[in-house]
Structure 1
């Protein structure tokens, strides 16, 4: 009994000593008053105050010869009003040289203004808001990591898990706006979309918090990033669990505002936060830290509730050491004079002369503290490494680390193990996600609070190749078929998340079983949140895109005009004359006579007997009977080649123009008064006809199927039908595949649209995923199979040809004038070059050229032969053998088969020069 009593007494004495440490005394030390501004009613405030007194004891125990001593003056600040009055008392009555605290950002915001006024350093180790920037408040020292430091780390985690959308939830107290901006910028730079930013007031009651939770549940994103203090955050997660949002499929991330205080939260809160990922500044292990933790454990084991040592307590401990070092370097002499006087308000406060020097000394302090390297950069504690933790069981477990400019790793550098850094979370440890799931949550889910995906389907009478709806035995469940339905089901398989059993809702009149309106009316239902998606052949238009979102188009489209081919029987018998104009026909006739005259003249010069009829029949006969011997003269052959070339071009032009006239130009054109246009029922083409093309409403008619199209075109406008159908190309293709292309033609200009796609409510998270799946599906074998199944194996995405003009004009003389000029000029040249006088003149010029240039002076061993034909011949007797009686010249054959002309010796007269 006595032993137990002594043990209890010893423990109590130890606690008293630890709570009120006795500083080693020196007769010549100077006490410097320092204010402590903490919320001693809170668990965190008590912890920090206790750690600061332990730091005071440890520091002067380690430095017994220091000339200065810190003398704490403590004020309890439970709210902003307490902090303001407490700071005034510390500055005015206690004449403190520095203030450690206050504990929260709103309190610090006010006290910092007092510090600027009096030039007294305000040192905080728990107010981490980015709005308290030392750059804007020079006498504020943030001996804690600013919350903006974790922005890039948080973005790296979200990016590493492959989440592309996130919802940010934060405490709305007016001091986190700058951090939310920094965090949003970092997340967006990582290519991640912020789907929603939700602010929850600190003063919100349980009902208001629960309402906000249910609002978050209705959004499509499943990744939530929470930035709150422990007071609000603990309540928020309890309500999130009650709303079913801490179950499988959800992912939650928390910033250091909650992560740093997990050890002090109740078991109920920890149970609600199972599977949450947290981020907090990393504290490297050291011998001093281990020793301090052991002391703290011994001290706090008898306190209720038991307090877990956190980073704020370590920063408070290091802050005391940093301030004690800075004051010692200044020396006692700088604090002897009283620099303040009694004041009743802020305006009466005077400035401290020692304040600027003390501020400079604090900012330049460097040492190894319990929280790590103490290094202030621009008045803030430098944090380069963050610990990623996982809430599991009754506490948390580290799963990895993030280091600035290096990325994610499983181990920190301080443990002495080689760390592999990466941007992927594969280097981190495994996680048990909310709902005890080992599968990484997707970042998207159906935004319907557990309900099925609502799919709007139009009720169509025709063109059911796209979509057709059939009810199962009055069960309000429908079987949807067609191209759009098959494509939609294929896209669901390709999504990165699972959508089971979508609910198909028809857009129709239950009484009549027909459509309830146009496609514009259908899209209005999306605006009213009645559908999560519309699966149909909806055309993407600019006006519609202002109200709803669209996927990537799955089929290209344009508006075209379809007409039936009908020929005018009255003038059809003379259509062969239509390709050429009358002046061109006359030009062709004149050209034939001219070419005949030229050939006859050339043949006559060649002594060939040709009749006068050659003037007409020869140019035509040469086209049909191109025999080689039709002409004998070489000039005639030249002219014939030119004529055949001209005639070939003329015939090709005639053929092309006749083909156009047979298909387009001979179509019957109704008068403007009776011109009627048909369009598809419910289509936007009606507005296009009336507003853009300015058609009379009485002259446009709607039809629902290809059969009705065919019937209306067959009747024509006079018989109650239409003259043309204006519709989008995919529907026209279906019509042409059904009735053939022989009797119908696409005519006129086309009007481009955005194509056919699926429609979504504005801001729908499903739209980009469907679009991405469509891009992956386009051009694949599955897409071709879906097209063939619904439109037939011959269906093609390629466009049909258009006849852009409604009338093809005849070809005139001007179009071929150059051709006739060239052929006529060449014929005239042939006449000129074949004339006798031109030939004689050319022969004389050639002879003189030969005599003067080719053979200027004949050699002595050459003889001249004078032949009966008056042909001058030179023979070189040095190389030519002459027989006794004759020698051979061309045009006569000898016995060896050589041809030549026999010349006798009597016919040869040798002159003195050796010529004959």
Structure 2
């Protein structure tokens, strides 16, 4: 009752009772008001309600607008079963039918704010709410409204009403360091006043900022003093709308007199929303009481209030499911000594200039708004220059990779500067933004146990604006900071020491056992063909030397399909056909393997392990998707460590982010080391920014431009140019060329060898049979010559057998 709102509500209730019965003198019923002062305390509200129910025997309660008090009274109403008319504007999950919300629900308002932000294409909204149960719940509802519009909420600031000015100032400084200029504030009028005073003091009410205020504050803007209004200049507010009418005009005239009686030394003000809702609620209650007591039998007061429908000061009064029907919301702009209407938010999701019209006015209809700083230009991007504020960036100095990131002191300005590939990318991209804000580079030196994860934590916890360097983008880190688009190659590479070049490399594709086996089969083929052909084929006859030469020539000429000797035996043709198939497979495999070996030498130490580079900042995030049979994690802090590990032959290869590999290759001979494979298993390097920083999007756009116009490639060539390193494979899991061995061709040799042995056996059997047959004939002829029974003239006749 001691607050200004309480005084307004009480006076409007008494005025409503007097006006109602003056207009309806024939009514036989009268309502009597009994007041209890809650003093703003929920427990006192509960105690007062109990006293009214038990001692005064009230038939209805009009409750306070504080949501916590309303909920205490709601618990009471579950037992009392009498109507409870509440001024609470919060969205309540109340299922008690006796709880009636007579104030406008805020959920519709939140949707309107989200739509307005979407129409301007603003991003990275910060919500400011009271640190109470109701404030936290409202923050959740607001977050959902923005999420439905795909608008990211960068941060939710919960501020207690008990905060001192210094505490509020510190909180605003934290928001200022986030470089966010889009704020939506949903707090009580008293807390809003403190916030705007402090915001103006720290320079957050200047050009480039956007402040949107909910009806929780703007509904009471008529009762704010001139200094508070001045500190809010340029804010846009959503306010409960009451259509113009003769009833409202007459009441306002009457109210000015009442207001003067309450505060004769204060400026005349319009009636606020709570007063209008209280006035209409009393009218509805009086009408329902009359119907219950005189005209309608067997009906309850709750039923009659729910059915009551009339045109009051606030427009049409009608409840649906215990809540008022949705109405338009007024959009105001705080300028000068008060507020100015700029449009309406309709319940169907449209912005309109006038009620009843359907023309959308979207962001084009808001060109008349005067924004903070006195500008009529719609804020579109972050104004970075704020009271000489510097942007502070951490620079990791973890190892000897000067080609990637290094720090020095500019002799002309005596300030730290960054260079190297990562440093130059940041400098070129940031300078293209032409913000003109000073950058302070803070070295993050390597100490035992420090990791890149610790650097991310430092940005997140200690308010640095970002970090620059060889920082890998990972999903886990993205929970705490924002990354730009990657400016490096995405993935990991493997560096290996080149094998020594040899004049005998042509022997490498085949293992020794395969060479000897192949040679043996060539000789065996020649012997088989000679054995089958030399008795009848003149090309395989002659002196011993000539037969050996012809046989060897024929056998080895099959390797290049250059044999010209005609084969007469089908057995010989069968053996050669099978052998030519074996030769075809063997020569094709040899050619493919030799080509691979000539492209890049085999990794020198075939028995070593694959070495992973690690300073604890890679490891798991880098190699999660790398499939390798063996691997060890060992700290390597500089290109020299890479080279020493490879030259010592302790490992056969080292896998790491591609830019680290390129840094090593840029410093050491490409004739000794090669990038032998790559795999797209990481997201590459990115520039780190505080969560919600608008610079993230701006810098990402610049990086995309640098990649498109070739600047990024030029910077890479400047710092990481390689002379003659070749990439063998695009897949890290692809093994190096495999030496061909006998085991892989055993089946072919088995088939060919079987065919040769079979042909040789058939040929031997045929020769033996023919020799035996000839010998038998000779014996028969000898016997016939010695027989006396045979006439001499028959000696030349072959006997019949």
TM-score by length of 2: 0.77
Matched residue, 1:754: 682
- Aligned CA distance change for structure 1 residues 78 and 606 (closer, same or farther; 3 Å): closer
Residues 1:583 and 2:521 are matched in the alignment? no
Residues 458-489 of structure 1: CA deviation (Å, up to 9, x unaligned): 55886533234332227442443332123223
Decide which moves more: 526-535 or 182-191: 526-535
Aligned positions of 1:44-193 closer than 5 A: 44-74=5-35, 78-80=39-41, 87=49, 90-91=52-53, 94-102=56-64, 104-124=66-86, 126-131=87-92, 134-136=94-96, 138-193=97-152
Structure 2 SS opposite 1:438: coil
How many Å separate the matches in 2 of 1:383 and 1:686?
A: 54
Contact 1:665 1:808 in 2 (8 A): no
Q: Which range is displaced more, 177-186 or 387-396?
A: 177-186
Q: 1:729 aligns with which of 633, 651, 658?
A: 658
Instruction: Indicate how the Cα distance of structure 1 residues 208 and 586 shifts in structure 2: closer, same or farther if over 3 A, else same.
Output: same
Counterparts of 1:243 and 1:486 in 2: how far apart (Å)? Answer: 33
User: Is residue 2:410 matched to residue 1:410?
Assistant: no
2:320 to 372, 377, 396: 377
How far apart, in 1, do the equivalents of 2:74 and 2:637 lie?
75
State the alpha-carbon separation in 2 of the partners of residues 534 and 334 from structure 1.
Answer: 74
Tell me if structure 1 keeps the 8 A contact 2:613–2:636.
Answer: yes
CA-CA distance at 1:166 after TM superposition: 2.5
Contact 2:223 2:269 in 1 (8 A): yes
CA contact (8 A) 1:596 1:616 kept: no
Query: Which runs of structure 2 are paired with 1:302-381 in the superposition (5 Å)?
Result: 303-305=264-266, 306-332=268-294, 357-381=300-324
Distance, in Å, in 1 between the alignment partners of 2:257 and 2:137 is 41
Q: CA deviation at 1:273?
A: 0.7
Asked if the contact 2:210/2:379 (under 8 Å) is kept, the reply is yes
- Contact 2:675–2:727 (8 Å) recurs in 1: no
1:167–1:223 contact (8 Å) kept in structure 2:
yes
Contact 1:166 1:194 in 2 (8 A): yes
Would you say the 8 A contact 2:328–2:345 is kept in 1?
yes
Residue 419 in 1 paired to residue 378 in 2?
no
**C-alpha separation in 1, matches of 2:492 and 2:368:** 52
The separation in 2 between residues aligned to 1:795 and 1:489, in whole angstroms, is: 29
- For each residue in 1:585-612, what CA deviation from the matched residue of structure 2 results, as whole angstroms up to 9, or x when unmatched? 3223323433455666785699999974
Q: Tell me, what secondary structure is at the counterpart of 2:109? A: helix
Contact kept in structure 2, 1:168 and 1:198, CA below 8 Å = yes
Range with greater deviation from structure 2 (453-462 or 361-370): 453-462
- SS of residue in 1 equivalent to 2:8: helix
Distance 1:167 1:677, change over 3 A: closer
Q: CA deviation at 1:563?
A: 1.0
1:619 aligned to 555, 573, 596, which one? 555
> Could you tell me how far 1:545 is from its partner in structure 2?
7.7
1:500 partner SS: coil
Cα deviation for residue 768 of structure 1 reads 5.4
Contact kept, 8 Å, 1:534 with 1:760, in 2: the verdict is yes
- 1:861-912 Cα distance to aligned partner (Å, 9 max, x none): xxxxxxxxxxxxxxxxxxxxxxxxxxxxxxxxxxxxxxxxxxxxxxxxxxxx
The aligned residue for residue 436 of structure 1 is 374
1:391 positional shift: 0.8
Give the equivalent residue in structure 2 for 1:470: 408
- 1:130 Cα deviation from its structure 2 partner: 3.6
2:203 to 214, 228, 244: 244
Counterpart contact for 1:130–1:176, Cα < 8 Å: no
CA contact (8 A) 2:344 2:354 kept: yes
Instruction: Give per-residue Cα distances to partners, 1:308-334, cap 9 Å, x unaligned.
Output: 222222212211221122122123499
Query: Is the Cα–Cα contact under 8 Å of residues 482 and 693 in structure 2 kept in the other structure?
Result: no
* Cα deviation digits, residues 112-155 of structure 1 (max 9, x gap): 5555544332323x333445x6523x333221113344232233
Residue 758 of structure 1 deviates from its aligned partner by 3.6
Is 1:665–1:807's contact at 8 Å kept on the other side of the alignment?
A: no
SS of 2:289's equivalent in the other structure is helix
Contact 1:560 1:750 in 2 (8 A): yes
Matching of residues 527-566 of structure 1 within 5 Å: 529=462, 531-539=464-472, 552-554=485-487, 555-558=489-492, 560-566=494-500
Structure 1 counterpart of 2:773: none
Do residues 652 (structure 1) and 613 (structure 2) align? Answer: no
Distance 2:227 2:535 in 1: 120
Greater shift, 249-258 or 560-569, is seen at 560-569
Q: Is 1:784 paired with 2:713?
A: yes
CA deviation string 1:688-744 (max 9, x = no partner): 99xx978798xx986446xx977x599x549xx998766543343455466665444
Partner of 1:184, secondary structure, is helix
Aligned counterparts, 1:710-859, within 5 A: 716-717=647-648, 728-736=657-665, 741-745=670-674, 754-758=682-686, 760=688, 763=691, 765=693, 769=697, 772-773=700-701, 776-777=704-705, 780-782=708-710, 783-792=712-721, 808-812=738-742, 815=745, 817-818=747-748, 821=751
In structure 2, distance between residues paired with 1:562 and 1:297: 88
Asked if the contact 1:102–1:108 (Cα under 8 Å) also holds between the matched residues in 2, the reply is yes
How big is the alpha-carbon RMSD for the aligned residues of Structure 1 and Structure 2? 5.2
User: CA 1:650/1:278 → structure 2, altered by over 3 Å: closer, same or farther?
Assistant: same
Does the CA contact (< 8 Å) of 1:134 and 1:378 recur in 2?
no
CA deviations 1:365-399 (Å, max 9, x no partner) are 11222212211122121224222211111111222
DSSP-derived class of the 2:31 partner: strand
> What is the CA–CA distance in structure 2 between the aligned matches of 1:261 and 1:387, rounded to whole Å?
14
CA distance in 1 between counterparts of 2:620 and 2:56 reads: 85
CA 1:501/1:593 → structure 2, altered by over 3 Å: closer, same or farther? farther
State the 1:159 CA deviation. Answer: 2.9
Residue aligned with 1:70, SS: coil
Q: CA deviation at 1:279?
A: 1.1
Highest CA radius of gyration, 1 or 2? 1
Q: What is the rounded CA distance, in whole Å, between the counterparts of 2:259 and 2:104 in structure 1?
A: 26
Deviations 1:252-275 (A, max 9, x none): 222111111111211111001111
1:785-805 deviation line (CA, Å, top 9, x unaligned): 443444449899977677976
Paired with 1:687 and 1:388, the residues of 2 have a C-alpha distance of 49
**Partner Cα distance (1:661, 1:205) in 2:** 75
Per-residue deviation at 1:230? 2.0
1:488/1:687 Cα in 2 relative to 1: closer, same or farther (>3 Å)? closer
Q: Is the 8 A contact 1:218 1:448 kept in 2?
A: no
| Contact persistence 2:593–2:737 (CA under 8 A) | no
Question: For 2:90 and 2:510, how far apart are their aligned partners in 1?
Answer: 91
Which residue in the other structure is 1:8 paired with? Answer: none
- Distance, in Å, in 1 between the alignment partners of 2:245 and 2:331 is 20
- Please state whether the residue corresponding to 2:329 is helix, strand or coil: strand
Larger RCO (CA under 8 A, 6+ residues apart): 2
Q: Give 1:194 deviation, angstroms.
A: 3.1
- The equivalent position to 1:451 in structure 2, one of 389, 411, 415, is 389
Report Cα offsets for 1:626-653 as digits up to 9, x if no partner.
48x7438697889877665543433333
The CA distance in 2 between the partners of 1:90 and 1:515, in whole Å, is 70
Deviation at 1:618, TM superposition (A): 2.1
1:190/1:796 CA distance change after superposition, 3 Å: farther
Count how many residue pairs are aligned between Structure 1 and Structure 2: 750
Q: For structure 1, which runs of at least 5 residues remain unmatched after alignment? A: 1-38, 336-353, 837-916
Q: For the residues of structure 2 that align with 1:100 and 1:462, how far apart are their CA atoms?
A: 73
- Distance in 2, matches of 1:82 and 1:701, equals 68
- Asked if the contact 1:52/1:316 (under 8 Å) is kept, the reply is yes
Structure 2 CA distance for partners of 1:755 and 1:796, relative to 1, 3 Å? farther
In the alignment, the residues of structure 2 paired with residue 532 and residue 551 of structure 1 have an alpha-carbon distance, to the nearest angstrom, of 13
Residues 76-129 of structure 1: CA distance to partner in whole angstroms, max 9, x if unpaired? 5544477566555654565443333445445544555555544332323x3334
Residue 228 (1) aligns with residue 187 (2): yes
Secondary structure of the structure 2 residue equivalent to 1:538: coil
